């Protein structure tokens, strides 16, 4: 197990150019299959999940090359329609290849995703919506065998605005026969990014960013040139780290609207902001303060991915705050580890009560998922003394060389593998 060695107590500040979004890039990589052509993607995040997704494309028979942050993907040829169980379990977003492969080849085989560290994460909404559009699904030996001689447009009502199911349906419907309307669709910026990409490839889609998305199936898509938008969770992670350590931070390349809920919380703890074209500057107070009650939820609600990081921040804010986690049932595993560093957090079911402590101290802690691991890392940066944060392999899934980025901003972090 890899780990980070951190010597805390140094302000994290300066200028940081936010990288391309993991949660936008992965669905777009799956969508390249529908283009059956060459696609050029700029501003790609150089993270483990991105590399793994490029490998999936290669395993399916496509060409994928990465030079710097530019990926050139040629999906004219494919030779397989199967996504292995280990791949799906390693990286949940690979279920999006189901919609993409069905949209392209009318058949797909997908390993069973199973549960994961943050919750059960079923895919019933994906599968039941697919069936409504004419996809036949058989489960055998832990694999889903899916096929559809005709994929037909349909009015689908999602019982929950699932991000993954909305993305999978966009992929399936882009080349379906007739019109599909997704009601109660997810509205996250990553959905908007996927639609922008599909539209650049010739898809006819309307209403992204609203609860009703209409897709008029087209016969063929084509290649495109597209730049991956900024990662709002990476932006939020660095803001929290600076706020906790008392550093002034300027973020470059961000869209204020997409991180409004995070900025709102930071503002309530006493941070001040100025914003000029794609440059956000944050000045934290001497002492963070907060009396807040946060509830995670689908966009435009408070993002579940930011929950562990904000919890970390609130451990140092004078006052008592509550966080309710409504999206995933097991996403508080970082709380116990934060307590080892001196945090005062009490969990009751899906609600966390956080009482601000005057300071955290270094400790040996274990990250067990991506954002939870990052939350421990920023707590360690703010803590007095040395910490060891295990589980770097989770953090590397979604953050690009986070140890270098924090070190350049004044922190003392080393990755040990
Ligand atoms: C979720 C987050 C997304 C985040 C990503 C990675 C939400 C709404 N979604 O997306 O912002 O970037 O994790 O951490 O915040 N569900 C079902 N059946 C399904 C699909 C989902 O019951 O078929 C449930 C899930 O168990 C979960 C909720 O719906 O409780 C949200 O899931 P969904 O949005 O699909 O998850 P992701 O696409 O992984």
Q: Tens digits of per-residue pLDDT, 193-214?
A: 999 999 999 999 999 999 999 9
**The ligand 1 atom nearest the CA atom of 118:** 14
Rounded to whole angstroms, the Cα distance separating 49 from 51 reads 5
354-378 burial: b if 16+ Cβ within 10 Å, else e: bebbeebbbbebbbbbbbbbbbbbb
CA of 121 to the centre of ligand 1 (A): 7
Determine phi and psi for 287, rounding to 5 degrees.
-130, 120
The residue nearest atom 38 of ligand 1, judged by CA position, is 164
- Kindly list the structural domains of the chain, giving each domain's residue range(s) and its CATH number in brackets, ordered by start: 3-19+230-416 (3.65.10.10), 22-227 (3.65.10.10)
pLDDT of residue 106: 97
What is the pTM (predicted TM-score) of this model? Answer: 0.97
Residues 6+ apart with CB under 8 A from 336: none
For residue 216, the surrounding DSSP H or E stretch is: strand 212-216
pLDDT beneath 50, residues of the chain: none
Beta strands, E only, 12-86 = 14-17, 38-42, 63-67, 70-74, 82-83
Rounded to whole angstroms, the Cα distance separating 359 from 372 reads 20
Place of tokens 């063929």: 220
pLDDT of residue 85: 84
The residue nearest atom 9 of ligand 1, judged by CA position, is 163
pLDDT of residue 417: 86
Residues 6+ apart with CB under 8 A from 108: 81, 82, 83, 97, 98, 101, 102, 144, 146, 147
CA of 277 to the centre of ligand 1 (A): 32
pLDDT of residue 6: 98
Q: In this structure, are residues 314 and 321 in contact, taking their beta carbons and an 8 Å threshold?
A: yes
Q: What is the pLDDT of residues 154-178, one digit of tens each?
A: 999 999 999 999 999 999 999 999 9
**The ligand 1 atom nearest the CA atom of 93:** 39
Cis? peptide before 119, omega within 30° of 0: no
Rounded to whole angstroms, the Cα distance separating 158 from 140 reads 26
Determine if ligand 1 sits within 6 Å of the CB of residue 368: no
Rounded to the nearest integer, the mean pLDDT of the chain is 96
CA of 171 to the centre of ligand 1 (A): 17
pLDDT of residue 243: 98
pLDDT of residue 86: 86
The dihedral through the CA atoms of 78, 140, 177, 126 has a sign that is negative
Rounded to whole angstroms, the Cα distance separating 126 from 186 reads 13
């Amino acid at each position: 197990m890899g780990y980070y060695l951190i010597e805390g107590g140094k302000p994290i500040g300066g200028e940081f150019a936010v990288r391309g979004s993991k949660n936008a890039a992965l669905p777009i990589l799956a969508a390249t299959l529908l283009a059956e052509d060459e696609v050029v993607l700029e501003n790609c995040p150089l993270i483990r999940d991105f590399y793994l997704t490029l490998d999936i494309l290669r395993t399916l028979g496509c060409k994928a090359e990465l030079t710097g942050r530019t990926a050139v993907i040629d999906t004219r040829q494919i030779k397989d329609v199967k996504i292995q169980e280990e791949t799906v379990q390693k990286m949940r977003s690979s279920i999006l290849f189901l919609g993409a492969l069905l949209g392209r080849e009318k058949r797909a085989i997908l390993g069973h995703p199973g549960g994961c560290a943050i919750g059960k994460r079923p895919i019933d909404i994906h599968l039941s919506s697919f069936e409504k559009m004419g996809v036949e699904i058989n489960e055998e030996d832990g694999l889903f065998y899916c096929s559809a001689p005709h994929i037909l447009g349909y009015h689908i009502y999602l019982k929950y605005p699932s991000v993954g199911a909305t993305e999978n349906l966009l992929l399936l419907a882009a080349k379906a026969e007739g019109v599909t309307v997704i009601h109660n669709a997810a509205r996250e910026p990553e959905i908007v990014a996927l639609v922008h990409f599909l539209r650049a490839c010739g898809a006819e889609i309307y209403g992204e960013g609203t609860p009703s998305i209409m897709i008029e199936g087209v016969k063929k898509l084509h290649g495109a040139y597209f730049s991956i938008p900024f990662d709002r969770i990476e932006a939020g992670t660095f803001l929290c780290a600076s706020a906790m350590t008392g550093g002034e931070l300027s973020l470059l390349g961000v869209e204020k609207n997409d991180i409004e809920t995070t900025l709102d919380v930071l503002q309530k703890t006493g941070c001040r902001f100025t914003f000029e074209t794609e440059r956000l500057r944050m000045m934290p107070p001497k002492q963070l303060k907060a009396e807040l009650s946060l509830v995670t939820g689908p966009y435009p609600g408070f993002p579940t991915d930011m929950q562990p990081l904000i919890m970390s921040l609130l451990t140092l804010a004078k006052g008592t705050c509550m966080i309710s986690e409504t999206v995933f049932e097991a996403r508080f595993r970082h709380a116990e580890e934060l307590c080892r560093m001196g945090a005062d957090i009490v969990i009751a079911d899906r609600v966390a009560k956080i009482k601000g402590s005057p300071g955290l101290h270094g400790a040996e802690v274990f990250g067990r998922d991506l954002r939870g691991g990052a939350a421990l890392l920023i707590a360690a940066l703010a803590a007095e003394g040395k910490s060891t944060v295990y589980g770097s392999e989770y953090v590397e899934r979604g953050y690009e060389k986070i140890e270098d980025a924090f070190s350049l901003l004044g922190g003392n972090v080393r990755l040990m593998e």
